[in-house]
């Protein structure tokens, strides 16, 4: 199909099983050895005030942690970056709670649960916590959330010609939703994308995306233990990209889009 814009990666944020932040996660991805990639728990609630931290869901905490990490690594001010958040279900435990409450006929929703139920809760808390009044958007792309969100971030960068913060996050669903959609693990990935090469960034790499009708050649596989702990987690589609970045190796990674098409993301470390 058509070529779309290029960007530079100026900062990375990461939280997942065996991947507690990019500093620790990059070597684990570069040389996994026999690591188990065990659950890393939830990250510290970076940026957030105590009151908001108590109210925020695990999904929001994941998203904010990686967003803060990527922004800090980029050297760009966290209050000046437009943001694109992507997730398949946002906070799946809230969806479970709401459906169960309605089905039980008790209709007992707390105001906090209800505002946490919006798909843009992470974006809203991010704006408040980072004092960031720039545009933000929240992409719901189902199993194609990560690719759809990254495409939107690249398109925003090309049209408004400025840096963009992209964050993708997905968590395991609670029972009984886990029976109809067995998303595993808790994973969040953030990238600060810039139109110009960043002056000094340890993750300096060029990103080029294009759309295609087929995924193309498969990238290097993820370590089996990591793959197993994140089965069907939509954000995990971004990990082959981070693995290539950690290994400072060029790669082309396919990400599903909502239709039958694919986003091909070419990474060139510089």
Check binding of 156 to another protein (CB under 8 A): yes
Judge contact between 151 and 67, C-beta under 8 A.
Answer: no
**Closer by beta carbon to another protein, 132 or else 235:** 132
Residues with Cβ within 8 Å of 195's Cβ and at least 6 positions away in sequence, in order, are 7, 8, 157, 158, 161, 162, 163
CA torsion 221-262-239-145 (nearest 10°) is -140
Strand partners, 164: 193
Nearest distance from C-beta of residue 48 to another protein, angstroms: 12
The token pair that represents 234 in the structure block: 């939509």
**Closer by beta carbon to another protein, 20 or else 127:** 127
Q: Kindly tell me which residue out of 23, 128, 218, 224 binds another protein, with binding defined by CB under 8 A.
A: 128
* Interface mask toward another protein for 212-241; x: CB under 8 A: -x----------------------------
**Residues 157-186, interacting with another protein (CB under 8 A):** 158-160, 175-177, 179-181
Check binding of 246 to another protein (CB under 8 A): no
Exposed e or buried b per residue across 108-126, where buried means at least 16 C-beta atoms within 10 angstroms of its C-beta: eeeeebeebbebbbbbbbb
Nearest distance from C-beta of residue 231 to another protein, angstroms: 16
Check binding of 127 to another protein (CB under 8 A): yes
Exposed e or buried b per residue across 139-170, where buried means at least 16 C-beta atoms within 10 angstroms of its C-beta: bbbebbbbbbbbbbbbebbeeeebbbbbbbbb
DSSP structure class, residue 236: G
**Residues 66-105, interacting with another protein (CB under 8 A):** 80, 88-90, 95, 98-105
Judge contact between 10 and 194, C-beta under 8 A.
Answer: yes
**Residues 10-49, interacting with another protein (CB under 8 A):** none
Check binding of 58 to another protein (CB under 8 A): no
Q: Kindly tell me which residue out of 27, 41, 142, 202 binds another protein, with binding defined by CB under 8 A.
A: 142
Nearest distance from C-beta of residue 196 to another protein, angstroms: 16
**Closer by beta carbon to another protein, 33 or else 175:** 175
């Amino acid at each position: 199909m058509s070529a779309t814009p290029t960007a530079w990666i100026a900062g990375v944020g990461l939280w997942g099983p065996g991947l507690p932040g990019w500093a620790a996660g990059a070597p684990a991805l570069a040389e996994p050895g026999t690591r188990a990639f065990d659950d890393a728990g939830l990250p510290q609630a970076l940026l957030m005030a105590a009151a908001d931290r108590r109210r925020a869901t695990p999904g929001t905490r994941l998203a904010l942690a990686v967003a803060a990490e990527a922004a800090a690594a980029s050297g760009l001010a966290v209050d000046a970056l437009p943001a694109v958040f992507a997730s398949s279900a946002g906070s799946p435990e809230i969806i479970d709670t709401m459906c169960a409450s309605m089905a039980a006929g008790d209709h007992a929703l707390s105001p906090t649960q209800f505002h946490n139920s919006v798909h843009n809760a992470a974006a809203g808390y991010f704006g408040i916590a980072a004092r960031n009044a720039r545009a933000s958007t929240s992409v719901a792309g189902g199993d194609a959330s990560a690719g759809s969100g990254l495409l939107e971030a690249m398109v925003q960068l090309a049209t408004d010609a400025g840096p963009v913060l992209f964050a993708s996050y997905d968590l395991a669903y609670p029972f009984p939703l886990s029976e109809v959609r067995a998303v595993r693990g808790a994973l969040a990935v953030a990238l600060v994308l810039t139109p110009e090469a960043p002056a000094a960034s340890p993750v300096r790499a060029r990103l080029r995306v294009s759309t295609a009708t087929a995924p193309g050649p498969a990238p290097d596989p993820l370590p089996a233990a990591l793959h197993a702990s994140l089965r069907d987690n939509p954000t995990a589609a971004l990990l082959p990209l981070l693995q290539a970045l950690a290994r400072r190796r060029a790669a082309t990674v396919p990400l599903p889009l909502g239709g039958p098409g694919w986003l091909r993301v070419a990474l060139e470390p510089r």
